[in-house]
Each structure stands twice: as C-alpha cells, then as structure tokens.
Structure 1
Amino acid sequence: MTPLNINDFVRDLYATNEFIPLHAPTFCGNEKGYVTQTIDSTFVSSVGKFVDQFETQIEQITGTGKAVATVNGTAALHTALHMAGVRAGDLVITQALTFVATCNALFHMGAEPAFVDVSEKSLGLCPKALELFLQEHAVLSENGAVHKKTKQRFQAVVPMHTFGHPVELDELQAVCSKWNIALVEDAAESLGSYYKGVHTGTFGDYGAISFNGNKIITTGGGGVVLCKSADSGAKTKHITTTAKVPHPFEFYHDEAGFNYRMPNLNAALGCAQLEQLEMFIDQKRLLASQYQSFFKSSDFEFVTEPEYAKSNYWLNAIICPDKESRDLVLQETNAAGVMTRPIWQLMHRLPMFKNALRGELAISEQIESRLINLPSSPLGIQSL
C-alpha cells in the first residue's frame, strides 16, 4: 500500500479536495445561540448559569460525584494532582508516551515525573511495567511508597487514556492500592470512553478531561476535574476559585488557591457541544471502522479499542511496519494536504525531563518510531 492510496481514501471519506485537518471542531447545534445569550447577559466570566449547567451535564455523562470546570485541561490536571496530595519534591509515575501537558503540570508543582512503559493493548500505562518499576525503585514505609535511595514519596500514578483508548484500570488500581499510591487519571482525550461500562476518569482518586479546540467536544479552551464525592468536589471547587470564603462583600481567602474557573462564555459553547456528544462519538466510531477495514489487508496495523473498552476514537492511528515507512507516509500525506502526525516525542527525550527516573521503555520506543495519527474529525457533519 502506498501513501497515495491513503490520500485518496481519506479524500473519499471526507468528500473534499481541500486541505483535511487532523481534527477540527464541529459546530452544528446551539453554539451560537448559547454564546449570544451569554454575551447579552454580560455574565461572560466565571459566574453564570452555563458554568453550573456544564458541570451538571458532565456529571450526568460520566457518572462522577462532582465535576469542577476549569480554564483548560492542564489546570484540571494540576488541580487533580494537588487534591490527590502531590507536593513539591514528590515523585509521580506516568508514561513517557504522553503529551507534554501531563509533565508540565508536575513541573510547575515542583514534583518530578518517573516514566514507566506503556501497554501494547491500550497504548497507556502498563500495570505490569508499573509493578516491576515499583519493586525495583520503591519500598513501603509509614509514609507510603518511597524511593529506596532518595526517600522521596511516590505520591501518585498518572495513566493517560491515549487517543481515547482506556487503560487497564482494574490492574492499575490493584497496583496503586498495594503500594498506597493515589491514582489520578489523565482523561484529557477520553470523554465518552468507557472501561467495562464505566466512564474513564472516574476510577482514580481524581480525573481530568480537556476541552481544547481539537478534542471530541470543545469549550474553546477548558477542562474539568472529576471528583468521586460531593465533599471532595466542594473542596476542589473552592481551591479553583482562589479559595475565597463566601460572603456578601468581604474578601477572605482561607488558603492559597488557584484562579482556574472556567468562564461562562466557554461553558456556553461547551453546553451546546455536549448536546451533540453522542452523535460525534457515533460518527467517529463509524470513521474508525472504515479505517480499520481499509488497512485490514495492508502492512499497516490500525489501532483499535481494547476488548474491555468502548472508545471514543478521538484520534485514529496506525502502526507502520517501520520508521522508514512512517516517515514516507508523513511526508507524502502532508505534502498532499492530508494532515497526519507522528505521536509525541517521548518525554525523557525533552531537555527538561531528560534526567527523570525511568524504567525500561521498549514498547514506548517502538510505538514512537512507527505510529501515525490520521484525520479524525467526525464524518458527515457540517459546521454552522
């Protein structure tokens, strides 16, 4: 199969000779109406009915105890990690095969990432690799799991549901429970994805979702923290709103907080988008099935959802036979106006994380050298 075949197939899917982006937002519902309502109300900042409505809709979709909307996904993850007890000097285990925002949140907290390999099954954090890593580097103490040499706490494990495909959550939970480490899900890409019938982001102590412009639904920029209970949700909401104690006119803040509240203007857009989430997922799963059929008899392996999961197929991906074929496809598709992308460079290859503690990363390295993301905007939907 040549790259030209891929170009023709993708153009037939989207029925256009124009440039085809990797993932574009789709606005075909009440977006303009809700945003106009917000502007007319003058409540465009962090107070307004759409923020509350958006959080309620997320709670209904995910089944979480409380959803707290934030300005972006990184802010949501930062808040989730803070609520899970991560502090400066702590070690947080995550995957090297992730978007840099996962590690940026840790960096700005003064915490340090420790990198563990991913599973071929999910492309997310591998529970077997996690257990082996902890056996090698950690010991249980009265303070929980600590590094054998430095005595730093392993305070959290952060798996990412790569491209919307859920990780092996039961197994990861079992390892975290054994070692007394908090599980915080980076569910940035997995709104509408389910692990054994339960929504991602709701298994860990906290979860974080992103609503950036390239996600399955968007608020322009935005995120949400998924909290297990109303009590933890109330505390999370408090910390994201500068920790201000409610009062008719006095300004009193009882701890150092974050100014991370999602603006009402963004929430209005998000409410309209959430009304169409089921349709978006149906169309993206249809697109994935067509890609899967196309690549079935080729040398390229289409990345499918694990058998235990139902994925939103946020970004479709193929595993190429080798790096040379990957590079050829990337060059020829992009030259033809069909946007494709390699997966992110592994985090330990970046200068700011090059000295991070890490285990063996053989699977991550294989995927990094061979994976390509394909155009993944929902099919058959016209924007306003």
Structure 2
Amino acid sequence: MFDALVQFVREQYRTLEFIPLHAPVFQGHESGYVQETISSTFVSSVGPFVDRFERDTAAYTGAVRAVATVNGTAALHAALLLAGTERGDLVITQALTFVATCNAIAYCGAEPVFVDVDRYTLGLSPVALQAWLESNARLDDDGTCRDKSSDRRIAACVPMHTFGHPVDLDGLLAVCGRWNLPMVEDAAESLGSLYRGKHTGVFGLLGTLSFNGNKIITTGGGGMILANEELGIRAKHLTTTAKRPHPFEYVHDELGFNYRLPNLNAALGCAQLEQLELFIASKRELATRYADHFADSDFEFFREPEHCRSNYWLNAVICPDRTQRDGLLNASNQAGVMTRPIWQLMCDLPIYAHCRHDGLAQSRWLSERIVNLPSSVLPEHLS
C-alpha cells in the first residue's frame, strides 16, 4: 500500500527527486513586480503594491475592506482585539489547529477554551459548541456571555477552516448569534474556498488570511484582515502603530502595532493572486486523483464538505488507525516523499495544557489518523 502511494505521488509530479509537501509557484509577474518596488526604492510598508494587494484581496473575497499585515498571526491578533477581546477573557476555538490560532488569543491576554470538531469538516462543531455553552455559559442581563464557574467573559469564537475546508458556518453563526458571541474566522488556510458560494473569512465579524511560504499563494510572509468599513479603518490604524496623519509630527493616539506588510512582499502577493484560480483548479484536480487512488482501500481521502468549494490547500487522508498512520509517515518520508501528521492537539502542548476542553473525542480520533499528502500545483499546470 505505502509503496503504491509513493509511486502514485511520483507519477503525479513526474520526478524521482525529493517531493515536498507544498512548494510555492512563481511563474507570473512576481519578478517584474518585485523589481519594480526595488527600482522605486519603496520596499517598506509605504508603496502602491500594498494598497493594490488590499484592494485585489477585498475584491476577490468579497470583503468590504482588506488590511494587509506582516503575517497571519498578527492579523488574527489584531482581529481579536478589534472584536473586543481583553485580558482575562475566554475565547472558544478548536484544539485541532495550528498553534498560531491559540497564540493570537494568548497575545490578547485571553485564554482558549477547546471545543470539539466535526469529522465531516475537520472544523469547530456547532453541536459541540452549543452543548458546551449550555453546560458552561450564561447570558447576563445585558447580553454578555459569561462562564458560569468563573464569571469570566467569553469574548469570541474562533473557528479555523482546516486545510482549506470550510466549517459549518450556518450552524456556527446560529449558535454564536444565540449566545451573543462575535465570530472571528481563522481563514489562514482557506483563501479561494467557498461556503455556499461565498468566500470564507467574510461570514464572521472579522476574518483573517495567511500568505506564509507554504500557503496556496505566498508573499513570503504576510497576512490579511477582512472586515467591514468601520472595523477595516480601525484595523489599518491599529496595525500601523496607531499613527495619526500629520505633515511631519509623530502622533500616536493609542497602543498600536507595527504589523505592516512591506511593499516588497505585497508586490509578490499581487502577482500570486493573479494566478490563484489556476492554482485552485490544479489542486482540485490532484484531490480527485487522490480520491480515486484511495477509493478501494481502507484509507479515507478527505473530501470537501457539502455546499463547499475547497481550495484543497493540503490534501489529507484518514488512516484506519495510528499504526497505519505511522507506517505511512515512515515509509513515504524514507522514500523522499514528504508527508506530515496533523498537528498535536493544542491541549496536549505544555503551554495550553491548563486550558479547559469538552473531551475532544472527534479531535483525538482524527489527530491519531490524519496524514497530509504532497499538494503542490501539478507540473502540467506550470508554464
């Protein structure tokens, strides 16, 4: 089985060399746009490509405003602050996620609460969320959601669209509305993914994207906040050191953050965004081939949820058990085909071991079985 998978992957990428998990593709205007920033000398956070990248991303996602940041974690940190998260608050999220989701919560001085995921989305479960809130939360007379045992405010809910697969947004929005919880979408992995025809990251109060080197498009490092007009203006101010416009004085009217994306990186992002639909089409074709390969096996290839278009950022297969998972990981990596397990559950990391959770039965089951497979753009789609 494992040898057959290695051979299959090599056939897709037409090479006997090492195959990475996800490699960036630079075949458009990347070099020209970056050289333009160098020639102009505007390589830092002031430059036309920053504005263009924000406009293009807003247009692509359907967001009212998009605000570029230095990375996705910075975007999520700022978004949580804009949503009103304060020191001492609780923020509900999933344990089956990359550590940056929880780190952004901790940067606010808040503490994550981990609620289970759904197997059919790999993301936060509306049913589990409602069950946890019914058992552990109450609404004040003013509508504030609070933890029953500690009286701490529950400030927000942060679902993450795992590997680019949208969560059950209808279900989560209904629960969050019932409990007066603002939703901040961690859409770091889901640029180009649609839920019922609408882009992820624009359903909640705010959403965030990542353009890290391993994402579907990259700026080297970078992120984006998706917001309405009012919060978009606040996001821009907060992430540019809270500096007020002035002809020459340095006037900062609140504690801000130097989270600005350099023009150099934005130039790369503009060129990458021009090719995004091509990348998505290639990755969706690869996902279909993986699904066919695993069709008659005990290994379940993870397909996009109903009513969704996933970008299939990282393809995933669910192994029958942990023994098979480890066998696949060892065999493929030894053969020069890079595969990776899903992240350790956040509650298993020492820094978040003290955080409350609901038992996380589905998260635990998935964490012991999921393997990510090579997911780069196919060679036939490279120019």
Shorter-chain TM range is: over 0.9
1:18 aligns with 2:17: yes
Tell me which residue corresponds to 2:329: 330
CA distance in 2, matches of 1:290, 1:143: 49
Tell me which residue corresponds to 1:178: 178
Paired letter, 2:208: A
Structure 1 portions without partners, runs of 5+ = none
Paired letter, 1:264: N
CA distance in 1, matches of 2:35, 2:311: 30
1:231 aligns with 2:202: no
TM-superposed deviation, 1:273:
0.2
Paired letter, 1:297: D
CA distance in 2, matches of 1:364, 1:301: 16
CA distance in 1, matches of 2:144, 2:294: 47
Tell me which residue corresponds to 1:364: 363
- List 4+ stretches of structure 1 deviating above 4 A: 381-384
CA distance in 2, matches of 1:145, 1:245: 34
TM-superposed deviation, 1:95:
0.2
Aligned residues of 1:28 and 1:381 also touching (Cα < 8 A): no
Tell me which residue corresponds to 2:188: 188
CA distance in 1, matches of 2:376, 2:124: 26
Q: 1:79 to 1:381 in 2, by over 3 A?
A: farther
TM-superposed deviation, 1:230:
1.8
Paired letter, 2:299: F
Aligned residues of 1:26 and 1:381 also touching (Cα < 8 A): no
Aligned residues of 1:146 and 1:154 also touching (Cα < 8 A): yes
1:5 aligns with 2:4: yes
Which 10-residue stretch deviates more, 139-148 or 65-74?
139-148
Equivalent residue runs for 1:1-384 within 5 Å: 2-141=1-140, 142=142, 144-227=144-227, 229-380=228-379
CA distance in 1, matches of 2:183, 2:319: 32
Question: RMSD across aligned C-alpha pairs, in angstroms?
Answer: 0.9
CA distance in 2, matches of 1:310, 1:383: 22
Aligned residues of 2:282 and 2:381 also touching (Cα < 8 A): no
Aligned residues of 2:14 and 2:379 also touching (Cα < 8 A): no
Q: What whole-Å deviation, never above 9, does each CA across 1:1-57 have from its counterpart, x for those lacking one?
A: x11010000000000000000001000000000000001100000000000000011
Q: What whole-Å deviation, never above 9, does each CA across 1:116-135 have from its counterpart, x for those lacking one?
A: 00001100000000000001
CA distance in 1, matches of 2:35, 2:155: 44
Q: What whole-Å deviation, never above 9, does each CA across 1:224-270 have from its counterpart, x for those lacking one?
A: 0000x222211110010011110110111111111101000000000
Instruction: Give TM-score scaled by structure 1 length.
Output: 0.98
Paired letter, 2:175: V
Q: 1:381 to 1:83 in 2, by over 3 A?
A: farther
Aligned residues of 2:166 and 2:190 also touching (Cα < 8 A): yes
Aligned-partner SS, 1:209: strand
TM-superposed deviation, 1:286:
0.4
Paired letter, 1:219: T
Paired letter, 2:264: L
Structure 2 portions without partners, runs of 5+ = none
Aligned residues of 2:6 and 2:332 also touching (Cα < 8 A): yes
The count of aligned residue pairs is 382
CA distance in 1, matches of 2:381, 2:305: 30
CA distance in 2, matches of 1:232, 1:101: 22
TM-superposed deviation, 1:143:
5.4
TM-superposed deviation, 1:308:
1.4
Q: What whole-Å deviation, never above 9, does each CA across 1:119-168 have from its counterpart, x for those lacking one?
A: 01100000000000001110111251101011111110000000000000
Q: 1:65 to 1:78 in 2, by over 3 A?
A: same
Q: What whole-Å deviation, never above 9, does each CA across 1:70-95 have from its counterpart, x for those lacking one?
A: 00000000011011000111000000
CA distance in 2, matches of 1:67, 1:60: 9
Aligned residues of 1:244 and 1:254 also touching (Cα < 8 A): yes
Aligned residues of 2:136 and 2:148 also touching (Cα < 8 A): yes
CA distance in 1, matches of 2:81, 2:307: 30
CA distance in 2, matches of 1:184, 1:344: 21
CA distance in 1, matches of 2:347, 2:380: 39
TM-superposed deviation, 1:380:
2.2
Q: What whole-Å deviation, never above 9, does each CA across 1:313-371 have from its counterpart, x for those lacking one?
A: 00000000110000000000000000000000000000010010111200000000000
TM-superposed deviation, 1:382:
7.2
CA distance in 1, matches of 2:92, 2:234: 25
Paired letter, 1:221: G
Paired letter, 1:64: A
Instruction: Give TM-score scaled by structure 2 length.
Output: 0.99
CA distance in 2, matches of 1:172, 1:319: 24
CA distance in 1, matches of 2:181, 2:229: 22
Aligned-partner SS, 1:372: strand
